[in-house]
Chains A and B, each alone.
Chain A
């Protein structure tokens, strides 16, 4: 599959491999990290952002593409809905069927609440399913929740909300145990010891994995459990607007059947937004490793209803996205590949950065290598990339390691005739994660009463950078916390008349602030054409 030119360049990687094997490239100093971030990380590119002119975060900067959706009109602007005709009447409405939504549903159900999950695509179709590398928890001797805490804070550049970090690390071991008791198959030694590895920026090997199907394994188990518990699910039904009661408290949502194009009214005592991330907005033109449905819908609906955004200007670009073959462009090359020992190498076969810096630093260093130092490898589609020297893994850990520990990666490349056991792969940063989101407290509550947020749609846990393995942890810890709290709290809430007045007010506010727009949000699904226009 590699072109003849690429195969020539691979010889340079092979030539330097023996001298690189077993020699650690030095880590950056705090100052060096700071410099490379400021100069090369996309979050520092002013042209990618603009300030919001209205709403709870008026005056703060967010990515242009997100600003466009936040400063847009509702899909319901010219739709007449009878809000007294209720199609679903439940205690807890969960919007989103990924890991956060599913775990929230299980806990709310356990509280005796009547739960409905509405999801835009299929139950389980979410970024959770695609998480490969693993989930962090400090459960081994020599590690501690306090060490985990310090790693999370340092990774987030000490901007994280402390009470959320505290909840995250405290609930982590219990979360792994919960999964284990549901039957999730973690990688273990024969005596039961969890097989754990490092992630970028971790001080202990605390990454638990299920090969490189970690997220898929977790998702398929908790989805199965949601089915077993008989929790009601309505698929291919995207929420398009939250419903509030006359006191401004969350009280349900308007759902949109993507196939029949009909609206339905879901009334609830409490609402949990678990809609995931925003990768499909393709900030600054980056490709993404995200699920097709990751279009920031929850941020849009929550913001309109008055919830506050936190860290919306910080995005995670995963350092290693697929740069070649083009069929997998932007797909994730799990960090586990580097955890196992693969290192980034430039066109001359030289390593240019330590392979386990935090993701933001690693990504910035790769961008510097391609953009500034001009040491990237150009692919046939014109994309610049660097090598990730994967054959090192088998040299370090023995033959067969790649097939055993990262079978998904191996399969993905093999389908396009690249054998990552023998040949290095080409990578470039890909838009991976929304570090921020709607601000929550340790129960997942927002400032809008009865509105909870969990998972990638929530903000504050990771500050402005997230470490590998803390997102699978985050969605389960805060999914469960939000579900439990919302389930219990729903019993104290009195159902009131539903209203969309906040949407009308938002439209008025757009006018008052001079925002003239025909844009409609939430986006729901991206529309790709793969360059058809240029081919005609």
Chain B
């Protein structure tokens, strides 16, 4: 055994000594598991590794992302490989960005009892209950921005006594905001029209016909925006 500091963790109840410097995810691999579920980007962006744990002697259940959390001595771990949260299907082109839309697709948001378990669980430290409040009131743009950093790990939904799938509510609010509420990018519309009219075809064709030497010369002489 090396002189690394080791801690004891419990994976599905079984004890394993692991180096204290590892993340939960790495510690499971150190213990010999090859992860199939509960392992995605390993950088805190995909939400695949939602994990429930309790520290020995403590009664409180805690939640986290396994790739972004270090192990602690006496950690009892289990992963949330799939949480059956509800997702409604819809045609985004036929929706209106209103409270009615939210209420029709996700009526359970009005059953929120204000327990704040969703917020307490969020590994991204989002104010989940607040963005559900915005959704209830039809303040979709606020809901969109408040929920923006969501990685859809499902921890919020797993803790909700009202059966809300918060991350789907946030996603709907964001899509409605992105499509209907955010201002149009006129320069984008104009450029797309130009492209469709073939206005840039000739300039690209010209470059396509140039030799590497000619392209190199143009490239090295190009002006660069400050």
Contact = CB atoms under 8 A, between A and B. Distances in A.
Interface residues of B, number: 77
Sorting the interface of chain A by its residue count into under 10, 10 to 19, 20 to 34 or 35 or more gives 35 or more
A528 B26 CA distance: 8
B191 interface: yes
Contacts of B42: 291-292, 331
A394 to B, nearest CB: 19
Contact of B191 (A173, A190, A407, A412): A173
Nearest to B216: A158
B191 A121 contact: no
A535 B22 contact: no
Contact of B189 (A151, A177, A258): A177
Contact of A327 (B21, B90, B216): B21
Contacts of B218: 150
B15 interface: no
Interface stretch (B113-121, B158-166, B171-179): B171-179
B187 A194 contact: yes
Interface centre among A145, A169, A181, A530 (most CB of B within 10 A): A530
Interface in B16-53: 19, 21-23, 26-27, 29-30, 32, 34-37, 39-46, 48
A3 interface: no
B68 interface: yes
A185 B36 contact: no
B172 to A, nearest CB: 8
A205 B225 contact: yes
Contacts of A289: 43
A191 B92 contact: no
Interface string A45-70: 00000000000000000000000000
A149 B204 contact: yes
Contact of A149 (B175, B178, B195, B207): B207
Given A213-B149, A225-B92, A525-B34, A412 B192 contact: no
A144 interface: yes
B204 A169 contact: yes
Interface string A401-421: 000000110011001100000
Contact of A130 (B41, B185, B220, B222): B41
A188 B189 contact: no
B225 to A, nearest CB: 5
B144 interface: yes
Contacts of B4: 535
A291 B208 contact: no
B191 A139 contact: yes
B36 A525 contact: yes
Interface stretch (A216-224, A296-304, A385-393, A478-486): A216-224
B148 A193 contact: no
Contacts of B60: none
Contacts of A225: 92
B183 A192 contact: yes
A527 B189 CA distance: 47
A139 B194 CA distance: 10
Listed residue (A125, A198, A528, A536) with the most chain B CB atoms within 10 angstroms of its CB:
A528
B203 to A, nearest CB: 4
A289 B220 CA distance: 31
B224 interface: yes
B200 A145 contact: yes
B208 A203 contact: no
B124 interface: yes
Interface string B116-141: 00000000110000000000000000
A192 B40 contact: no
B40 A211 contact: no
B33 to A, nearest CB: 10
A259 interface: yes
Contact of A158 (B19, B186, B212): B212
Nearest to B24: A327
20 contacts: A129-B40, A130-B43, A139-B191, A158-B212, A166-B204, A173-B188, A176-B188, A185-B148, A192-B186, A216-B45, A216-B46, A228-B92, A236-B37, A259-B36, A326-B21, A411-B124, A412-B68, A415-B68, A528-B29, A529-B30
Given A158-B215, A180-B185, 6 more contacts: A144-B203, A145-B204, A185-B144, A204-B225, A221-B171, A291-B41
Interface of B: 1-2, 4, 19, 21-23, 26-27, 29-30, 32, 34-37, 39-46, 48, 68-70, 87, 89-92, 124-125, 144, 148-149, 151-152, 171, 174-179, 182-189, 191-192, 195-196, 200-201, 203-208, 212, 215-216, 218-220, 222-225
> Considering the complex of A and B, which 10 residue pairs feature the smallest CB-CB distances, nearest first?
A183-B175, A192-B183, A154-B219, A183-B178, A183-B179, A185-B178, A146-B203, A139-B191, A528-B29, A173-B191
